[in-house]
Amino acid sequence: MSEPVGRTAKPLMRVLSGERIWPPPMWLMRQAGRYLPEYRATRDKAGSFLSLCYNAELATEVTLQPIRRFGFDAAILFSDILVVPHALGQSVRFEAGEGPRLDPVATAEALAGIREEIDLELLAPVLETVERVAAALPPQTTFLGFCGAPWTVATYMVAGQGTEDQGPARQLAYNDPALFGTIIDRLVQASITYLVAQLKRGVDAVQVFDTWAGILPDAEFDRWVIAPTKAIVDGVRAQVPGARIIGFPRGAGARLKRYAIETGVDAVGLDWTADGAYVRAEVQTKVAVQGNVDPLVLIAGGEALDRAVDNAIAAFGHGPWIFNLGHGITPNAPIAHVERMIARVRASTGPA
Ligand code: CP3
């Protein structure tokens, strides 16, 4: 948290201050995950996915695994965005092969069963993981905390599960914007409390995951994506001055510029559909960017992968840039392809 400024600072933190670094610092979304045999072994020891999230010793171990194996420039806290609704009192389960299941909160009656404030006691094991990882990381490695953005978390709270088109949350936001707004406001406050706790316990910066931002029409994008994210950025910085924040509004497209300027984030994560020329001219001139190789090209490997890496370097290598995928790495990504991608980025002399 007390990051020195200037040349001694961690490379990824320097990019978040607007510097261009070469080669670009890199990490991968979902870098601790099922594509790693050591992750699968630790997960089997923990039992369920949620018990892995709430076991500080094992969660620390899986957070560090991709750092040991690949020497990434950032570790990301091992947890899930759905621990926040859990700590608000909602029932959350992960069923094998099926993804998350929650008791839906889509009515005033159901919302009455949800806490007004997050119970950080329930997240004590996660915050203990933060302390353990912070103590174990190499000094040059940035430690990222995170939360889900209110809109994305609300899509799971309202539907009770992942959905193809986030229909239940979109529908509730139209039918009863006051009720939906109450859910969003509660998530804003919970996210501020949770991110501040992560920063105070040892993360260097935080990322706000808005996986389903892109599905909203313009006006709703302003109301349910930009406004709550700005409230989180302002609320966190009121308690942790200068806190560095990455926003990931997946699918935001031509709204990335507005998102970057209006929320006040230090960097935006790009999904693989982002327009390189637009981002370079309109977004990267204002904030740092992170991304955006298609996770599926990592499965293909070979020349397709090399070309994707080179395209990202050509598009974003001129300015402040953190190399990453455009979304999480998939369980079937071959480790040899991850190694090939890393080597190509590290060996690159930069864009032409
Ligand atoms: O990036 C990281 O390595 C940090 C850990 C992390 C996880 N989930 C671990 C996880 C982070 C940052 C998340 C965020 C998350 N979780 C998001 C936003 C980003 C994204 O990926 O879209 C969302 C929407 C969730 C909710 C969630 N968690 C779903 C829908 C699922 C099931 C789908 C799946 O891949 O299995 C999860 C489970 C989950 N979260 C796993 C991991 C490693 C897989 C669980 C397992 O080991 O089986």
CA distance linking residue 100 with residue 280, whole number of Å: 36
Ligand-binding annotation for 211, yes or no, is yes
Does a structural domain hold residue 216? yes
Mean pLDDT, rounded, for 108-113: 97
Give 27-62 pLDDT, tens digit per residue. Answer: 999 999 999 999 999 999 998 899 999 999 999 999
The enclosing domain of 50 has a CATH number of: 3.20.20.210
Gap from CA of 8 to ligand 1 centroid (Å):
33
What pLDDT sits at residue 1?
52
Q: What is the mean pLDDT of the chain?
A: 97
Give CA–CA dist 46/59, Å, rounded: 9
- Tell me the three-class secondary structure of the chain, residue by residue: CCCCCCCCCCHHHHHHCCCCCCCCCECCCCCCCCCCHHHHHHHHHHCCHHHHHCCHHHHHHHHHHHHHHHCCCEEECCCCCCHHHHHCCCCEEEECCCEEEECCCCCHHHHHCCCCCCCHHHHHHHHHHHHHHHHHCCCCCEEEEEEECHHHHHHHHHHCECCCCCHHHHHHHHHCHHHHHHHHHHHHHHHHHHHHHHHHHCCCEEEEEECCHHHCCHHHHHHHHHHHHHHHHHHHHHHCCCCEEEEEECCCHHHHHHHHHHHCCCEEECCCCCCHHHHHHHHCCCCEEEEEECCCHHHHCHHHHHHHHHHHHHHHCCCCEEEEECCCCCCCCCHHHHHHHHHHHHHCCCCC
Give the mean pLDDT of 118-143: 98
The total domain count for the chain is 1
Q: Is 327 annotated as a binding residue?
A: yes
pLDDT tens digits, one per residue of 174-233: 999 999 999 999 999 999 999 999 999 999 999 999 999 999 999 999 999 999 999 999
- Is the shortest distance between the CB of 146 and ligand 1 below 6 Å? yes
Q: How many residues does the chain have?
A: 352
Q: Ligand 1 atom closest to Cα of 63? A: 3
Residue 229 lies in a domain: yes
Active site residue 156: yes
Q: CB of 82 closer than 6 A to ligand 1? A: yes
> Mind listing the pLDDT tens digit for each residue in 278-320?
999 999 999 999 999 999 999 999 999 999 999 999 999 999 9
pTM of the model: 0.96
The pick from 27, 28, 30 for probing ligand 1's pocket by mutation, whose C-beta has the most ligand atoms within 8 angstroms, reads: 30
Residue 296: inside a domain, yes or no?
yes
Q: Is 129 in the pocket of ligand 1 (CB under 6 A)?
A: no
Which residue has the least CA distance to atom 9 on ligand 1? 80
ipTM score of complex: 0.91
Give the model's pLDDT for residue 5: 55
* Distance of CA 239 from the midpoint of ligand 1 (Å): 28
Please report the atom of ligand 1 found closest to the CA of residue 82. Answer: 26
Is residue 40 assigned to a domain?
yes
Range of the domain at 230: 11-347
Higher pLDDT, 74 or 5: 74
Catalytic residue check, 30: yes
**Catalytic-residue membership of 43:** yes
Residue 352 belongs to some domain of the structure: no
Q: Is the pLDDT of residue 81 over 80?
A: yes
Residue 295 in domain: yes
d(CA 288, CA 279): 10
In this structure, is residue 5 part of a structural domain?
no
Ligand 1 centre to CA of 75 (Å) is 15
In this structure, is residue 2 part of a structural domain? no
Active site residue 258: no
7 has pLDDT over 60: no
